[in-house]
Amino acid sequence: MIQQPALLTLTVTAAIFLFAVKEVLGLWWQKQAERRRLHAIKTLVCRELELNNYVIKSLRGALFSIRDTSSEKMELSASVESTVTGAAAPHCARLKAAG
């Protein structure tokens, strides 16, 4: 028969082992969650930078087209609208030439 102290030692060892496994898995899950969170943040920041870059390039193009025609006196209408996807769409329209 199994003696009582040996059985107690076996259960204590198994409990400690299970606790250690649980803690290691918990740390691993936390680390994976942190990696996923950082990846999501990087993806969002990257997408926002791409959208902002598009808006900057569009505005720069509009300003260059205005500068190229600056010898003529004209009235301009400029607006920036937001599309359904959240992208900005700049519009520049020549109303009438003055002079």
Question: What are 26-38's pLDDT values in tens digits?
Answer: 999 999 999 999 9
The CA-atom distances, in angstroms, between 96 and each of 56, 61, 72, 90 are 26, 20, 11, 19
Per-residue pLDDT reduced to its tens digit, 38-85 = 999 999 998 888 888 888 888 888 888 777 665 556 565 666 677 767
pTM confidence score: 0.47
Contact yes or no for 66/77 (Cβ under 8 A): no
Based on the structure, what is the number of domains in the chain? 1
| The pLDDT of residue 16 is above 90 | yes
Tell me which residue of 81, 75, 68, 70 sits closest to 93, measured CA to CA: 75
pLDDT of residue 36: 95
Determine the structural domain holding residue 46 and report its residue range.
4-97
Q: Kindly state the percentage of the chain with pLDDT values over 90.
A: 31
Residue 93's beta-bridge partner residues? 77
Rounded CA Rg of the chain: 33
